[in-house]
Amino acid sequence: METSQTTSLAQSLYCAEQLQRSEARAGEAAGYSLAQLMSLAGRAVFEQLQHRVGAGARIAICCGEGNNGGDGYIVARLAHQAGYKVDVYALKANTKLDHTGNEPALQARQACRELGLTEQPLLDCLSCSPDLVIDAVFGIGLSRPLEGELAEWVRKLKQSRVPVLAVDIPSGIDADTGTVMGEAVIAETTVTMIAYKRGLFTGASRNHVGHLVLADLGVGQHFVQLEKSDWRRVTDNPYPWLGERPIGAHKGDNGHVLIVGAGPGMPGASVLAMLAALRAGAGKVSVACHPSNVSIIASQQPEAMVHGIEQPEQLTSLLDAASAIVVGPGLGRDEWAFNIYRACMAVNTCKVIDADALYWLAHDPVQSSQLILTPHPGEAARLLKCRTQDIEKDRFAHALSLHNQYHAQVVLKGAGSLISSSRGNWLVDRGSPAMASGGMGDCLAGLIGALVAQGLAPAQALTAGVYWHAVAGEEAGAEGVRGTLASDLMPIIRKLVNGWMPE
């Protein structure tokens, strides 16, 4: 069964400890025992199985020793009774059952044996040439990397390319961080139980989860009453934050964005930020750049105003006139760039800090709630003085660290971008691999700057900007993920900031 998808349950993200602590209590509140919850979970997976393969198909069901395995044994029984060809593979095949342990899981396993479904070793799960594999080996409680025979089992599944339906979470994925622990199953579909686990939505897990189905088992709303969610998904179009533009509006009502960047030989990034700011609705957009780039940038869009800056003193009037400042696209890392950066940081106007400005921020730190930081993992590592792989091991913790250390509004970009801000912690699970091309970050920076200029609070502008940028990337990449350009997002951004959303 799929959840009713109320807003609270659809947005809320939890860690494994919360599920382990309160799933039984949520079940009790709904009038279910643990055995009944397990039965409901198995049925939810079986229903997804039916959507993917017809009766008579051969199903290899891989089961572990805990509750996840119990769910798998229930699927095996239901599939067998429905006419599927079922083969059961166990982590510890044909072991003597000790009924002092996990009783519901043991009962489910015993029921399979009574039906004549014998258990075979896990590594043999492809010997039956299955049409579908059910991964019910490890759930959210896994705390160690998969090694030895378990790692070999995962590698065989990957090489086979047989579709996998994962129970709760693909085996080998950390439920809290989304990292791969040694090896991890790549699922075509994952059916997760009761509530969303936050690790399913970001980092490496995005390559393993496949289509995600939430089966709340009729207890999800009880669970959200018991446990607070520290991270939430952005699920609604943020257009109401901007609202309708008054009939009598003029350009001065809609803000002035100043793009500061474009050092010698690097005009392109500032052009993209400029175009995004214009298409996102800013009343005026100016670009402050190295004098060598003025003619190049000015030729790209006549509506923008372009100023050559040799000395930081020349920025003063431009900074004073700006409603929002975007610092960094193509700025560079030479003395000119540093002096320009310092001049921008001296004013109190809200600033989007991107690209090379993040480099300078790491070397010359500033703390302010008026800063909006947009790092990718490598830039985040520089800001926190750690390694990129450290960031990716726990994106949630490092997004929070950036917010706390710089007192800023922060997005940690990547698959499942994380926003840590003064208005809460959010995850944007939109976007497309089509966005894996140069200039996308410059486009995002200009978009956010325009939203600030039009009156959104920094945290609001960041959240709306990241969400719309991701949706625009999906639409731009709809005809194929290869060859999509950042400039392809511009007409879509224009539609999004006017209230349009794809169906």
Summarize pLDDT for 325-359 with one digit per residue, the tens: 999 999 999 999 999 999 999 999 999 999 999 99
The model's confidence at residue 2, banded by pLDDT at 50, 70 and 90, is: very low
What single string gives the DSSP state of each residue in 139-201? -TT--S---HHHHHHHHHHHHHT--EEEESS-TTB-TTT--B-SS----SEEEEESSEEGGGS
Note whether 160 and 168 are within 8 A (CB). no
Sequence ranges of the domains in the chain:
7-233, 256-496
Does 216 belong to an annotated binding site? Answer: no
Q: What is the pTM of this model?
A: 0.95
Residues 259-296: tens digit of each pLDDT: 999 999 999 999 999 999 999 999 999 999 999 999 99
499, pLDDT greater than 70: yes
**Rama region for 222: left / alpha / beta (φ>0; ψ in -120 to 50; rest):** alpha
Instruction: Quote the CA–CA distance of 309 and 285 in Å, as a whole number.
Output: 16
Residues 453-494: tens digit of each pLDDT: 999 999 999 999 999 999 999 999 999 999 999 999 999 999
4, pLDDT greater than 60: no
Does 334 belong to an annotated binding site? Answer: no
Q: Which two tokens stand for residue 2?
A: 């799929």
Fold agreement between 7-233 and 256-496? no
Note whether 274 and 446 are within 8 A (CB). yes
Does 401 belong to an annotated binding site? Answer: no
Residue-level pLDDT at 1: 29
CATH superfamily of the domain spanning 256-496: Ribokinase (3.40.1190.20)
6, pLDDT greater than 60: no
Q: Which two tokens stand for residue 137?
A: 């080996």
Residues 89-128: tens digit of each pLDDT: 999 898 888 766 668 999 999 999 999 999 999 999 999 9
Instruction: Quote the CA–CA distance of 378 and 60 in Å, as a whole number.
Output: 41
3, pLDDT greater than 70: no
Does 330 belong to an annotated binding site? Answer: yes
Instruction: Quote the CA–CA distance of 87 and 85 in Å, as a whole number.
Output: 7
Residue-level pLDDT at 101: 61
Residue 404 has a CB neighbour count (10 Å cut-off) of 12
Residue-level pLDDT at 503: 87
409, pLDDT greater than 60: yes
Residue-level pLDDT at 100: 60
Mean pLDDT of 120-144: 96
Does 253 belong to an annotated binding site? Answer: no
Does 417 belong to an annotated binding site? Answer: yes
Fold of 7-233: Rossmann fold (3.40.50)
Note whether 490 and 465 are within 8 A (CB). no
Does 4 belong to an annotated binding site? Answer: no
DSSP SS3 for 282? coil
